[in-house]
A and B are shown apart, each in its own frame.
Chain A
Amino acid sequence: MDTILQGIKEGFYLILQMDAEIIEVTVLSLQVSLTALILSALIGIPAGAASALKKFPGKKLLLNIVYTLMGLPPVLAGLLVYLLLTYRGPLGQYELLFTPAAMVIAQVLLATPIIWGLTARAVMALEQNVYDTAATLGASRRQAAFTLVREARMGIIAALTTAFGRVIAEVGAVMLVGGNIRWATRVLTTSIVLETRMGNFSTALALGMILLMISFLINLMIIMLEKRTFRYDNTIQIT
């Protein structure tokens, strides 16, 4: 218990000092994870909505696969991307291994099933009435799809925050495909591993605290963005 408290105290000091390496590592973590989140959302939200709304053979199987991939172990995702990007691998010629781009790719692999699966669930939870209303008011199929996604936004926002939490906190994927190279592909989580390995527990704790703070702030931003675009509160009132 002592070590933890001691570590937390030293951690705060380190944060206040704002050393260049800690800033670099924090910024890179955000860049990689936010980029991955946005790309995954661009793929996952339409895919989720389409999976929920369209009828096609193998629909149940596909969704089952997506739900399973929601739990894809990060280190496995990292290994798969690594094998893709290695020099002898299918995408080797692009020399993406050990770059932030590779880290983004691996995290997209992790985040997309989450956003896809939860969006599909959120849209499937809507009632037929929602579509009927949109349709009878003259919405085209595409417009109705947008409307359904809009009406399911609470579930979709949950999907985004879940996916973000997953990728900002994972270490297996970014360690493998990034290589934890100092000043280049080192992020908060891989730094925590390194510092722990070297026995620098207070630094490791400091990095951990920064990670949590960032997570908190980003989620706050997502919620505020939601409040700005949709002024109306939809929570159930209980008395």
Chain B
Amino acid sequence: MTIPFKLHNIVKRYQEREVLSIERLEIPAGEINAILGPNGSGKTTLLRIMALLLVNDEGRLEVLGEKVNWSKGQILRLRRQMSMVTQTSYMFQGSVYYNVAYGLRQRKVSESGIKRSVKEALEMVGMSAYQEADARTLSGGERQKAAIARALVLKPQVLFLDEPTSNIDMASAAEIEKHILAINQNWGTTIIMVTHNLFQAKRLADEVIFLHEGHLIEKGRAETVFDQPRDERTAAFLRGETVY
């Protein structure tokens, strides 16, 4: 399966206002994709639809090779092959261990298996020392790293990121970017990332998607699209002007 996401004529409305309208979008496997655009352009909506957290009002959605019919069984099955890290990841009440173990527990993995995997995941993000810490006492950077471990430990095919480094210190942000690259390179995980940070997008992404007022206005390879945007609105956005 080379194309984990296929969107045809996807429309999402919020109280009669169209917030997302995409005629066609295909995302191939194994790449890092960045979704960019001004506020209100529908980035998070698009992400949540792809992550199967939001039901589209119109159109056809294919995820991981399956046509999505939103049945309970299918959604659960598909979700269990993906995971997500949001801007301020919610930590469940309890230890970091509990949080990282959460996804594995839902999948009924054995306790000994969980112990091993959690240890590995925390090592990967450099948070081993925090295993028994209260998840609520972590700093912003620590929390995001824990969230990454929590998502990673599940070895997902697709990893969604919604502004994962917006609120944290530079050092942690840099570390997290390293992890994102490593995940993609070592495991071939498809990464779909919403970000405000153009530089971050340039650093990490293979493919970049631009949204504007709910529409897909540009899509291209990271090497070229920043220097030669085809759409005037994209260019204005890249220049830093507010685009209406």
Contacts and interface: CB of A to CB of B under 8 A. Distances in A.
Interface residues of B, number: 28
Contacts of B136: 232, 234
Contact of A150 (B83, B93, B103): B93
Interface residues of A, number: 23
A134 B151 CA distance: 11
A140 B94 contact: no
Given A130-B90, A232-B95, A136 B106 contact: no
A136 B92 contact: no
B109 to A, nearest CB: 11
A132 B53 contact: yes
A93 B160 CA distance: 62
Say whether chain B's binding surface is mostly helix, strand, loop, or mixed: mixed
B83 A132 contact: no
Q: Residue among A129, A132, A137 with the most chain B CB within 10 A? A: A137
Nearest to A141: B72
Nearest to B150: A137
Say whether chain A's binding surface is mostly helix, strand, loop, or mixed: helix
Contacts of A138: 76, 79-80, 83, 103, 106-107, 154
Contact of B151 (A137, A143, A150): A137
B51 interface: yes
A151 interface: yes
A234 B93 contact: yes
A147 B76 CA distance: 16
A229 to B, nearest CB: 10
B140 to A, nearest CB: 15
B35 interface: no
Interface of B: 48, 51, 53, 72, 76, 79-80, 82-84, 86, 88-90, 92-95, 102-103, 106-107, 134, 136, 150-151, 154, 160
